[in-house]
Amino acid sequence: MALDDIHTPVMLERCIELLEPAISAPGSIVIDATLGMGGHSEAMLERFPRLHLVGLDRDQDALGIAEERLKRFADRLTLVHTVYDDIEGALEQAGVDRIDGILFDLGVSSLQLDRAERGFAYAKDAPLDMRMDATRELTAERVLAEYSEGDLRRVFQKYGEEKLAARYARAIVEARHGGPLTRSSQLVEVLSDATPAAVKRAGHPAKRVFQALRIEVNQELVALERAIPAALDALRVGGRIVVLAYQSLEDRIVKRALAARTVSTAPAGLPVELPEHRPTYRLLVKGAELADDDEKAANPRATPVRLRAAERVRENNA
C-alpha cells in the first residue's frame, strides 16, 4: 500500500503557514516531535530547502518508514528514537542547542491504526498490545490482567472520561476469572455485554475504553505534560510551536501550557508592568482552530482536530 493511501497529514497547509515565518530562513531547525510516517516532515523539507529537521518517534516501525520516505533529505535530517518529552536529549543527540520551530501531531498515528496487529482499533480483531514503542514491557493485555478493579475504573474515568467506568471495570475483572483477555474482540464482547442497550445506540461501547487503555499503556498524557514546556523552553525568540490535538484531554494540557507563557506574571494591582513580567509567548491562533469542512470530507481523521500555536517573543529574563 502506498504511503499516500494510508497517511494524509492533517491540516498540512495550515501547519506550514504558521511555522513558515520561523523556519524559512537558511539554517533553521525544526523538530517534528511526532514524526509518524513523515508526511508533515516531507512537506517542510521540500518547501524549505535549507531547513534541518529533527524527527522524533517512539515507534520504530514509523521511524523505519519515515527514514525511507525522507532518504533524499538525509543530509538535512536527524531521526531520534525517543518519546517526545525527551526533547532536551534529542537535541543533544542531534548536536543542536535551540530550535526555530516544533510541530506536535498528537494521538495514535495512521500507521498504528491501520495495522490491525498493533491492537489499537476496536473494530479489528488483534492482540491487545497497543504499545507505540514495541521495546516497552507494558501492554493493554497486561493492564487488563494485572490492574485491580479500582485501578481499571480510574484509568477508564481519567483517560477515557467513561461514564460506565465502574461497570466496565467490574465486567473485566469477572471475565478474566475465565481466562486472560488477549484479543481486542474478547474485550469488545465483554464491554458490549456490559453496556445497556440505550447506551449502545449512542455509539460504540469500546471507543473510550480503548482510548483509555492506549493512553495508559503509552503514558501519553504524562509525557505530554512534560513535552510542551520542554518544547517552549527550547525555542529561540521568534520560534513557533504548532500542536494538533485530537481529544479534549490532550487539548487541555496544551491550552494550559500555552496560557502559562502568554499572560503577564505581574502581581495584581501593579501600576506598571515591568519587562520581566511580560509574556514570553504570544498566541497565533485565537482559541483552538478546527479543520474546515473540505478537509474533514477529504480526510475524516481531521474531524476532531484542535490546532493551537504560539510564537516566542522574548527570553525568560529579557
Is 150 annotated for ligand binding? no
- pLDDT per position in the chain (318 positions), as tens? 344 445 689 999 999 999 999 999 999 999 999 999 999 999 999 999 999 999 999 989 889 999 999 999 999 999 999 999 999 999 999 899 999 999 999 977 655 555 555 667 777 889 999 998 888 999 999 999 999 999 999 999 999 999 999 999 999 999 999 999 999 999 999 999 999 988 887 778 788 999 999 999 999 999 999 999 999 999 999 999 999 999 999 999 999 999 999 987 666 666 666 666 689 999 999 999 999 999 999 998 899 999 999 999 998 865
The reply to whether 101 sits in an annotated binding site is no
Residue 318 falls within a domain, yes or no?
no
Which pLDDT score, from 0 to 100, does residue 1 have? 39
pTM score, whole prediction: 0.89
The verdict on whether residue 85 carries a ligand-binding annotation is no
Check whether 105 is labelled as a binding-site residue.
Answer: yes
Q: On the CB side of 262, how many CA atoms lie within 13 Å of its CA?
A: 20
Is 119 a known ligand-binding residue? no
Range of the domain at 176: 120-218
Residues 213 and 244 grouped into a single domain = no
pLDDT at site 5: 47
The structural domain count of the chain equals: 2
Both 105 and 197 in one domain: the answer is: no
Which residues are within 8 A (CB) of 17 and not within 5 positions of it... i.e. 6 or more apart? Answer: none
Residue 238 assigned to a binding site? no
User: Are 306 and 226 members of one domain?
Assistant: yes
Q: Quote the cell numbers at residue 110.
A: 495512521
CATH assignment of the domain containing 267: 3.40.50.150
Residue 57 annotated as binding? Answer: yes
First to last CA, the chain: 51
Same domain, 204 and 228: no
DSSP assignments along 39-77, one per residue: HHHHHHHHH-TT-EEEEEES-HHHHHHHHHHTGGGGGGE
